[in-house]
C-alpha cells in the first residue's frame, strides 16, 4: 500500500522543514525551508562543524553579520546539492520593521549565492509578514528576487503579500493552534478542534480559497505543524513544509489520504473581495489578537536565535 507521504505528493509539493541534510536524503523533498532556529541548531551539530569552520576560514575579517549570512548560504548551498527544487533562506528577523535594510540584506544573500554558483531561481528569500516586510518583498520581486513571506497568521497579511506579487507565502498552522488552545484553557476540546476544525487549518483554508477564487498566482505553503492530522487536512495545498518527525510519521502510515483543498471548489464558493492597503493591513492585524501576538512573538524568537548565532560565531573566532 501507498504510505501517506507518497499519497500526499500526488496533491501537494512536499517541503522539508529542517537543516538536517540526512533527513533530506531520506525523504527526498522537492524544496526545503530553514529559519534562524533551525540553523542555530544545525551549526551546533558535530557533523556540520567542518562546514561552519570552512566558512569562517574562507571569510576572515568580515563582520559577524556577514559571516552569519555566509553560514546561512553555505547551508542553503549544501541543501540545494541534495534537493531538486528551491531553498528558503531567511533575512535577519531583527530587520523585520526596516524595509530598506531588509532589501539590502536580501540582495546580499542572493549575491552570495550567485558567487557560489547558485542562480536566484533556486532561492526564496524569507521575510517576516510585517507591513515593512511585504513592501521589501514588493521591490525584491520586481527585481526578480523571489520571496517567501513567513510568520503569516491572517488573511490581511496574505492579501498584502498577494498584492505585492510575492512568489510564496507560509501561513502557520501549529502556532495558531497553540494560541487558541492556550486561550481556551480547560475548555479546549481536542477532538472538536482537530482535522478540518483545527483553527490553524481553517486559517490556511481561508487563504487558499481566496487565492484560488481570484486566480492569485502566489504559492501557498502551509507551515508549522503539530501533528499529521493538520497536514492531511490540508492535502491539496500548493506546498506543505514538514518537520522530520512528521515526515517520518507520514511515511509510516498507510491510512487513506484524500485531497481536501481544491481550486475548483474554491472558485464555486468565492469569498467576498477585500481591499488591501496599509490601513486595511494594520487594522485587520490589530483586530486579530492571535495574529498580532504570534507575529510579534515569532519575530522576537527568531531575533533571539539570530543573536545567539552571532554569539556562537564570536566565540568560535576568539
What residues are annotated to the active site? 126
**Rounded Cα distance, 265 and 35, in Å:** 33
Least Cα distance to 262 among 236, 239, 229, 233 occurs for 236
Map 102-170 to HEC letters.
HHHHHHHHHHHHHHCCCCHHHEEEEEECCHHHHHHHHHHHHCCCCEEEEEECCHHHHHHHHHCCCCEEE
Close Cβ partners of 134 (under 8 Å, ≥ 6 residues apart): 127, 149, 157, 160, 161, 164, 166, 281
Cβ(196)–Cβ(230) under 8 Å?
no
Least Cα distance to 243 among 253, 254, 251, 255 occurs for 251
Residue with cell 548560504: 73
Least Cα distance to 123 among 145, 101, 140 occurs for 145
Burial 15-53 (b: 16+ CB within 10 A, else e): bbbbbbbebbeebebebbbbbbbbbbebbeeeebeebbe
**Rounded Cα distance, 110 and 89, in Å:** 10
Amino acid at each position: 500500500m501507498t504510505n501517506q507521504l507518497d499519497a500526499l505528493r500526488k496533491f501537494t509539493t512536499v517541503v522539508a522543514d529542517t537543516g538536517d541534510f540526512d533527513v533530506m536524503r531520506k525523504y527526498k523533498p522537492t524544496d526545503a525551508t530553514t529559519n534562524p532556529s533551525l540553523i542555530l541548531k544545525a551549526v551546533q551539530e558535530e557533523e556540520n562543524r567542518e562546514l561552519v569552520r570552512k566558512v569562517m576560514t574562507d571569510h576572515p575579517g568580515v563582520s559577524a553579520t556577514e559571516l552569519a549570512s555566509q553560514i546561512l548560504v553555505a547551508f542553503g548551498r549544501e541543501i540545494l546539492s541534495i534537493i531538486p527544487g528551491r531553498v528558503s533562506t531567511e533575512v535577519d528577523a531583527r530587520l523585520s520593521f526596516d524595509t530598506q535594510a531588509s532589501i539590502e540584506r536580501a540582495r546580499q544573500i542572493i549575491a552570495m549565492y550567485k558567487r557560489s554558483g547558485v542562480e536566484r531561481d533556486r532561492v526564496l528569500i524569507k521575510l517576516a509578514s510585517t507591513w515593512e516586510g511585504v513592501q521589501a518583498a514588493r521591490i525584491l520581486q520586481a527585481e526578480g528576487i523571489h520571496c517567501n513571506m513567513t510568520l503569516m497568521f491572517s488573511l490581511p497579511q496574505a492579501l498584502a503579500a498577494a498584492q505585492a506579487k510575492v512568489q510564496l507565502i507560509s501561513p502557520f498552522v501549529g502556532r495558531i493552534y497553540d494560541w487558541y488552545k492556550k486561550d481556551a484553557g480547560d475548555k479546549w476540546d481536542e477532538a472538536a478542534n482537530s482535522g478540518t476544525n483545527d483553527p490553524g487549518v481553517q486559517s490556511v483554508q481561508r487563504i487558499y480559497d481566496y487565492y484560488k477564487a481570484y486566480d492569485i498566482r502566489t504559492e501557498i505553503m502551509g507551515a508549522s505543524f503539530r501533528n499529521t492530522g493538520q497536514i492531511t487536512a490540508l492535502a491539496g495545498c500548493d506546498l506543505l513544509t514538514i518537520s522530520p518527525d512528521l515526515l517520518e510519521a507520514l511515511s509510516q502510515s498507510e491510512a487513506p489520504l484524500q485531497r481536501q483543498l481544491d481550486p475548483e471548489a474554491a472558485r464555486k464558493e468565492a469569498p467576498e473581495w477585500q481591499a488591501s492597503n496599509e490601513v486595511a493591513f494594520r487594522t485587520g492585524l490589530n483586530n486579530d489578537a492571535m495574529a498580532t501576538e504570534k507575529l510579534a512573538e515569532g519575530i522576537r524568537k527568531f531575533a533571539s536565535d539570530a543573536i545567539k548565532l552571532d554569539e556562537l560565531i564570536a566565540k568560535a573566532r576568539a
